[in-house]
Amino acid sequence: MPPHDQRAALVKGWNRAADGWARQQLAFDRAAAPVASRLVDLAELEPGMKVLELASGLGDTGLVAAAKVGPNGSVVLSDAAPKMLERLRDRTKGAGNIEVKELFAEGLRFDTAAVDAVLCRWGYMLLLDPHAALQETRRVLAPGGRVSLAAWTVHTDNPWTGATLQALADRGLQGDPTRPGPHMFAWADPATIVEALDGAGFFDARVEQVDMTFDFGSFDDWWDARLDLSPDFAARIAEISPEERDELTEELEREVEPWRQADGSLRFPGRTNVAVAEV
């Protein structure tokens, strides 16, 4: 497991982000639904199967899986951030085949070969030790079991967050999107994903891409969503002066112009890798 103080800092950030994720949940779920659905398809879930979702956040993907495995199956939705899990419990109340569990992906408190599939949407590339997490994933999967995961492609494919990153990086408000991980674009290259899966002992790793669309009613809605969804970004913005913030938003207003619609709303494309591999 990564050192305790690093894990604690990470959990603190995600705990702070839980209310924001809850505010954005409907819109994010709508935009990202094709990815949840593809991850569940790639895992080849069948009624009665046991599924574990890692870094589940508010559980969009695990909920699709729960419908697929049905009342005789089970899904454990897990995350390292207790506040995220509180929100998740509100959302899953009454679902008989769902359990919510606090888990670090790098150290799973699960029996060996206990589940048929592991799902992880936009989690592994953020982890302090993705290799440990993949090894743990393989350990808890039964023979023939599958892991399916999503990891964003390059920032230029994802202007809803990525195209603006240079302005933020220039001000030291966010790291350069091409730096080494962990961060949201660290697994943009499919070869990195295949290497990570092969390195953890999985077989038949393959990667494809899924496109999606992110809609925001206005620049302000988009800005609020950035603050809500990214704990790092919100922390940096809280540190700058009102003047610096005004200067930044003016620059970003210009940068997002290519995605502005006639009614003033913003429509951004998004793209992610999705991968699957077997034990």
Contacting residues toward ligand SAM, per CB under 6 A: 10, 14, 54-57, 60, 79-81, 84, 104-106, 121-123, 126-127
Closest CA to 133 of 104, 106, 103: 106
CA distance 3 to 128: 9
Check: CB of residue 221 under 8 Å from CB of residue 228.
no
Minimum CB separation of residue 172 from ligand SAM in Å reads 22
Minimum CB separation of residue 39 from ligand SAM in Å reads 9
Minimum CB separation of residue 129 from ligand SAM in Å reads 8
Check: CB of residue 138 under 8 Å from CB of residue 200.
yes
Instruction: Enumerate helices (H) and strands (E) in the chain, giving the number of each.
Output: 9, 7
Report the residue number whose CB is nearest to ligand SAM: 57
Element housing 204 (H / E): strand 203-216
Minimum CB separation of residue 154 from ligand SAM in Å reads 17
* Chain position carrying tokens 């953890």: 200
Q: What is the DSSP letter of 182?
A: S
Q: Which is nearer to ligand SAM, 224 or 247 (CB)?
A: 224
Residues forming a β-bridge with 213:
269
Q: Which is nearer to ligand SAM, 66 or 243 (CB)?
A: 66
Q: Which is nearer to ligand SAM, 182 or 260 (CB)?
A: 182
Residues forming a β-bridge with 121:
150
Q: Which is nearer to ligand SAM, 209 or 218 (CB)?
A: 209
Q: Which is nearer to ligand SAM, 105 or 252 (CB)?
A: 105
Check: CB of residue 152 under 8 Å from CB of residue 185.
yes
Closest CA to 225 of 6, 21, 4, 7: 21
Minimum CB separation of residue 132 from ligand SAM in Å reads 9
Q: Which is nearer to ligand SAM, 116 or 129 (CB)?
A: 129
CA distance 175 to 236: 11
Q: Which is nearer to ligand SAM, 56 or 164 (CB)?
A: 56
CA distance 136 to 112: 9
Minimum CB separation of residue 46 from ligand SAM in Å reads 22
Minimum CB separation of residue 105 from ligand SAM in Å reads 4
